[in-house]
Amino acid sequence: MEERGLHEMQSVRQETAHLNTAAPKVPEATHEPTFLSRASSRTVREPVVRHLHTSLWPLVVFIFYAALSAFTWTVFCIASKRPIGSKQDYGNQDGYRKELDAILTKHENAIRAAQIIQVVVALITIPITSAICSMALASFIQTGGARTKLNLRQTMALADQGWISPRIWTMYSKVGSLPLYIAFGLTLVGVVFQILQGIFVRITPAQMASEETRYNNHYVPDLPALISNDDRRPTPRVVRLRSILESTTEDHYEPFLWVKPEGDGMCRNPSQCRYLDYRRDLQIIADSDYPDLWFTPLPSDYNTGVYEELQYVPRINTTVTYTNMTAAEWPSECVRDKEGVFFAEYHSRRPRAYDIDLTACMPTNISDTPWQATHNRQDITEELYLNVTARYEENPLYYRITAKTSLGYFELPSAKNGNRAGPLLDNCSLPRLDDWGSNRDSSWGKGLAVRDTNGSYAGNVTQSIGKNIGPLTTLGLALFGEGSYIEKRVSNPSAFVINRAKVYDAEYDAWYTPFSSNCDSSMPLSFAFVSTRECDEDYDHRDEDDIIGEVKTFVNWFSQEDTAREAFTVGAYLANKDWLDQARGYTLSYDAKRKVVADQGVTINKTKITIVEIIIGSIFLGLHLLGLLVLAIYAVYGKPFVPWLGGEVMIKAGTVHADILSAAEGHRQWKQTMAACPGFVGDERPTDSVGRIAFGAVAGLSRLRDRKFETL
């Protein structure tokens, strides 16, 4: 390399020899300073002699930059897992508000400082990297064998900090060198880290757990304790459900209706679901587009927040099918006086052709419970059979109503599970409650008395009703059992007739009955029957035929399969709600219910960054800082003859190569000349007591403390 360079330099001198002879000589004083010697009266040239000094400035610059960049990244990473200044994560803070306020203040100040410093570091990343690279290059061009491969054109590119200049990027094939590539790569790593940090780090509000924000004033029933309860008092479930069915309207809002999460979101409230319906929540229950809906004795937007332990509560859901069948499929058990079977039938013949024929049968023992005392999932199937003679139908219609119910536990939404309700668990292990008063049979003795009056038979009225019967069984008893809407009106229609004395109207000289528009009664499931009025007014109770006519309208709806299915689906939901919602009303004993603990926490800003992003960012930051540290140590160790490689070195190079460079003609020859000139320095007199720094000297500058050099 050296011989080729010297050969090219001799060629350039020969080509420009005639120009040099013709050109006027420039006085030497313009190249070298002149000094007046104290020992002589003549003006002589005296070289400047000095030592090479160690400068710690590269390390100072590195430490300043490394401290700022490492501080911001460390704060952001820690803040993604726990508050700054605390050893516990966001969900495990167990201190009181005074302690949390101190942590919160320290955390917020650290986040704010890191955000400000991040902006500063992003602005100084390129300047700091370029400064340390220039300091290291000053050591590189004076020591080591690799420096001798540099020509003047390459050194000029390094002095111009070409690794950050797009103009020089296009000339890498001509001016590229190993130091230039290293500086470019190190700068690129630093810039990429700043970009990734800006993308990865997201400041989001979060909740931090605390003792003062924790509450446990919600109760839910414990299923094993509820099912095995041996309380022998008569159950009001059927009566309550009957009242609910007759009082619920289509604009009823149901806050305890939970809907399965869709995609990444959570449809916690029916009004937020995909399809809105004018009948709102009750219609959504019956809508086949929402197959996974359930009741839980907590509002559908309930969230345990940042409480450290996951909470599990019971849920129940029922799916109803309503199918037509033939008379041959009617169960043989569905006859009067069959032990353990609910059987009811109603017949009425009225002068105004309001004929009613309805038979309802459930081949199940209404005294026993189908549920097991367990926390695990359990599924039951119930069937109700109807024999209906509908309007305009000559032959009776037979229907099978099948209800499939699932009962068990699920995980409540919380910050730990992404604020999404969990699925119904097949197996669930919860700590046992106090066993006092549990594990007893809830059935009563079975009676045998039968009542049959006025063409109505409400079943074996002395048969006890179990406390924990299934939803369809409860619904069937509420609709067709003793005391139901149809039973009371068919057996004694006169009791519902409104008898008002006639009033004389003198203006018209006539007598009339003063009926009002007040609501006197309501038909069960009227919210599910679109064309049915929600209220029966005075005018609808003038005589017994009117009463039976209303019952006929009610019976006819059971011949409309789709409408009846929706009505039974909603009715089953209301039955489930009435059964499982007991703990909210404090009707259960303390040992039969569980507390639900929630903690909405204290609002705090945290960083959102994943572990993968932390690893990637740390790798880039580590590579950048490690590269800068190596270059800073190299710059300090090398004792460069100039603080950094820049314009000062290029001026001295131009002075040394002035004769050759000035003789070049044209841009092309100028580039060739620079490429032929050496771009490194060394000791021109390595064996003398005083060395001399010169361009193109092969021997490197010694780092010995006592070594002196004549400067350029």
- State whether 399 and 360 are in the same domain: yes
pLDDT in tens, 541-578: 667 878 888 888 888 889 889 889 989 999 999 999 99
What count of Cα atoms within 13 Å lies in the side-chain half-sphere of residue 122? Answer: 16
pLDDT in tens, 507-532: 777 777 776 677 777 788 887 765 55
* Confidence at 610, pLDDT banded by 50, 70, 90: very high
pLDDT given at position 270: 38
pLDDT in tens, 623-665: 999 999 999 999 999 888 888 888 888 888 888 877 777 777 7
Note the Cα 44 to chain centre separation in Å: 82
Distance (Å, rounded) from C-alpha 105 to C-alpha 84? 9
Q: Which of 525, 597, 578 is nearest to 295 (CA)?
A: 578
Higher pLDDT, 259 or 109: 109
With a CB cutoff of 8 Å and minimum separation 6, the contacts of 170 are none
Q: End of a domain among 585, 600, 615? A: 600
- State whether 551 and 592 are in the same domain: yes
Q: Six-digit token pair at 154?
A: 């390459």
- State whether 501 and 626 are in the same domain: no
Which percentage of the chain shows pLDDT scores above 90? Answer: 31
pLDDT in tens, 354-397: 788 899 999 988 888 899 999 999 999 999 999 998 766 678 89
Across 151-166, average pLDDT: 87
Q: Six-digit token pair at 396?
A: 């009776």
Q: Six-digit token pair at 442?
A: 């809830």
pLDDT in tens, 263-316: 544 444 434 434 333 334 677 776 666 667 899 999 888 998 888 888 999 999
Backbone angles phi, psi at 356, to 5 degrees: -125, 130
- State whether 161 and 232 are in the same domain: no
* Confidence at 236, pLDDT banded by 50, 70, 90: confident
Name residue 396's amino acid: P
Which percentage of the chain shows pLDDT scores above 70? Answer: 78
| 232: pLDDT strictly greater than 60 | yes
Phi-psi region of 686 (alpha: psi -120 to 50; beta: other; left: phi over 0): alpha
Query: In angstroms, how far is the first alpha carbon of the chain from the final one?
Result: 23
For residue 361, what is the enclosing H or E element?
Answer: strand 356-362
Rg (CA), the chain: 47
With a CB cutoff of 8 Å and minimum separation 6, the contacts of 271 are 280, 281
Q: End of a domain among 583, 600, 617? A: 600
The verdict on pTM exceeding 0.85 is no
Instruction: Supply angle C-alpha 298, 598, 220, rounded to 5.
Output: 35
- State whether 134 and 147 are in the same domain: yes
Domain count, the chain: 2
Instruction: Look over the chain and give the mean of its residue pLDDT values, rounded to a whole number.
Output: 79
Q: Six-digit token pair at 52?
A: 């090479």
- State whether 202 and 78 are in the same domain: yes
Q: End of a domain among 600, 620, 644? A: 600
- State whether 444 and 587 are in the same domain: yes
Lowest-pLDDT choice from 442-456, 490-504, 522-536: 442-456
Q: Which of 3, 488, 572, 699 is nearest to 318 (CA)?
A: 572
pLDDT given at position 353: 59
pLDDT given at position 323: 95
Range(s) of the domain holding residue 69: 2-206+604-710
- State whether 585 and 643 are in the same domain: no
- State whether 595 and 612 are in the same domain: no
| 103: pLDDT strictly greater than 80 | yes
- State whether 499 and 646 are in the same domain: no
| 20: pLDDT strictly greater than 50 | no
Distance (Å, rounded) from C-alpha 708 to C-alpha 703? 10
Q: How far is CA 17 from CA 11, 152, 533, 655, 661, in A?
A: 10, 22, 118, 19, 13
Across 211-239, average pLDDT: 81
DSSP letters for 227-247: HT----SPP-HHHHHHHHHHH
pLDDT given at position 195: 95
Instruction: Return the C-alpha torsion angle 164, 166, 167, 169, nearest 10.
Output: 80
Lowest-pLDDT choice from 437-451, 594-608, 657-671: 437-451
- State whether 129 and 13 are in the same domain: yes
Q: Six-digit token pair at 404?
A: 């499939």
Is residue 423 a contact partner of residue 315, using CB atoms and an 8 Å limit? no
Strand 690-695, strand 708-710: pairing:
parallel
For residue 617, what is the enclosing H or E element?
Answer: helix 611-638
For residue 294, what is the enclosing H or E element?
Answer: strand 293-295
Across the strands, what pairs with 124? Answer: none
pLDDT given at position 91: 65
Instruction: Supply angle C-alpha 96, 98, 99, rounded to 5.
Output: 70
- State whether 641 and 692 are in the same domain: yes
Is residue 604 a contact partner of residue 206, using CB atoms and an 8 Å limit? yes
